Amino acid sequence: MSQYLTMADTDYVPAGVALSISSIIRASAIIDGRCKREIGVTTYTERIPLTDQRGHLSYYPVKDVTEVKGRAAYGITGDNFFGAPGFADADLSVLDVDKEIGAVFCGGSPFGAPYAELEVTYTSGWDPIPDKVKVACGLLIAQLSGSANSNVKMRKDVDSTIEYFGNDMITPEIADLLSEYQHRSFR
């Protein structure tokens, strides 16, 4: 579970707001949901189709590529004489990754055929957690501590009517702080 603040990070929350582990976890989960990823360094394994030996990893910045398997576009690959070629271990030297944006450029397979698809295991994320994410987490904690139930718009005590509005706690200020950390698919 992500925790983008610690109990000692009182500089990131407004004055008068008390930090608790549960509010930090809840605000961090809201940030993960907004960004559609964890901000901290995480390991991912994904299959990426290649077009002209180029592809794109879903999560960036890429910290490190740990394993690559490739499926040749055609031909006998040594593991399968009938049917489509399967995935075979590939040397990391055939892969060139732009770590800032996750673009992948790939050489040919050892059997001479170009790869049609890669299965890449890599780590991606930020270490340490950026200040913008910590500020957004602090602002969310302040919103969460402001009311017991943040989704309640109107409450009537006489006939027990409760009216809810949207569950989006992301204000424009928080959205601006998190904009550069959101997952954006290039496929």
According to the model, what pLDDT value does residue 155 have? Answer: 56
Express each pLDDT in 46-58 by its tens digit. 999 999 889 999 9
118 Cβ contact list (under 8 Å, min separation 6) = 47, 48, 50, 55, 68, 69, 70, 71, 90, 95, 104, 106
pTM surpassing 0.75? yes
Express each pLDDT in 94-145 by its tens digit. 889 999 989 999 877 666 778 889 999 999 999 999 999 999 999 999 988 8
According to the model, what pLDDT value does residue 73 have? Answer: 78
pLDDT beyond 70 at 164: no
